[in-house]
Amino acid sequence: MTSDSPSSDSPTASPGVPEPVLATIEVHLKQRELRREELYQRARRLRRLAQATMTRLHSNGAATPELAEVRRLTAELADWVHREGRGDEPLALDAFQEAVEAVLLGAIAEGQPLPGPSDLGVDPEPYLLGLGDVVGEVRRRVLDRLGRDDVAGAEAGLALMERLTRSLLRFDTTRAIVQLKPKQDTARTLLERTRGEVVMARFLARARPAGATGGTAPP
C-alpha cells in the first residue's frame, strides 16, 4: 500500500536566503567601505602631518603648533576608530605610530617628560612601535651634534638612546600582538653604531691640540 503523503526523507526546495537579509548585508558592506575610506583619509592626514612635524623639529628644533595639531588629530582618530572603525584598526596603525614618534621627538627636543599611550589616546601597541622609531630620530640628533663638534651633546643623546632602547627591550611578546622584535633589533643596532661613533669623537676631541677645532661651531 502506498501513501500520497510526503516522506520525511523527501528533499524539499529551499527558498534560499531571504531578499531582505541580502539587502541588509549589502548595506552593511557598503557602509563599511565608506568607513574604511574615511579612516584611510584621516590616517593619511595624520601620518603626513607627523612626518612634516618631525622634519621641522630636525630643521628648527621646535614645532609647538604642529605638535599640538598632531596630538589633537591623534586623539580624534583614536576616538573615531573606537566608535566607527572596529575591525579596520590596522588601517590606522601606521598613522598612530608616526604620530607617537613625532610627539615623543617633540618632547625630547623640548626636554619634557615623554608622554605615555594614555596621554596620547592610543593603544600600547602603536606606542611601542613609535618608541622604537624614535630611537633612530635621537641618533639623527646625535649625528648633528657630532657634526658641530658638540661631543657633550652627542654623549647626552647617546645616553638617551640607551634609556629608550632598554625600555623597548623590556617587552617580550608574540608578533601576533605587535611586530616589536624588528624594532628592538634595529634600535640595538643603531645604539651600538652610535656608541662607536661617539667614542671615536671623544677620542679625537681629547687628542686634538688645545685651541684647535675640527669644525665651525654655531654661534
Residue 142 pLDDT > 70, yes or no? yes
Question: Shortest CA distance to 165 belongs to which of 188, 142, 140, 149?
Answer: 188
* pLDDT at res. 216: 43
Three-state SS annotation for 115-161: CCHHHHCCCHHHHHHHHHHHHHHHHHHHHHHHHCCCHHHHHHHHHHH
Separation CA 27–CA 6 (nearest Å)? 39
Q: What is the pTM of this model?
A: 0.84
* Region 37-43 average pLDDT: 95
Mean pLDDT of the chain: 90
Intra-chain end-to-end CA distance of the chain, in Å: 113
* Length of the chain as a residue count: 219
Q: What's the rounded mean pLDDT across residues 71-82?
A: 94
Please tell me which of 9-23, 75-89, 135-149 the model is most confident about, judged by mean pLDDT. 135-149
> What is the per-residue pLDDT for 5?
53
Q: Say what the pLDDT of residue 84 is.
A: 86
Q: Given this model, what pLDDT does residue 10 score?
A: 60
Has residue 87 got a pLDDT over 70?
A: yes
Domains located in the chain, CATH noted:
30-122 (1.20.58.2140), 123-208 (1.20.58.2140)
Q: With 60 as the cut, is the pLDDT of residue 147 above it?
A: yes
Compute the distance between CA of residue 198 and CA of residue 99 in angstroms, rounded to an integer: 29
Q: Is the pLDDT of residue 74 over 60?
A: yes
Tens digit of pLDDT for each residue in 152-164?
999 999 999 999 9
Q: Which amino acid is at 50?
A: A
Which pLDDT does position 61 carry in this prediction?
80
User: What was the pLDDT predicted at 199?
Assistant: 95
Q: Could you tell me which of 78, 137, 153, 139 has the C-alpha nearest to residue 102?
A: 137
Q: Give me the pLDDT at residue 53, please.
A: 96
Retrieve residue 53's grid coordinates. Answer: 612635524
Over range 176-181, report the average pLDDT: 93
**Contact by Cβ (8 Å): 104, 74:** no
H-assigned helices in the chain:
19-60, 64-84, 90-109, 117-120, 124-147, 151-169, 181-207
More confident site: 129 or 208: 129
Q: What is the mean pLDDT of residues 33-44?
A: 94
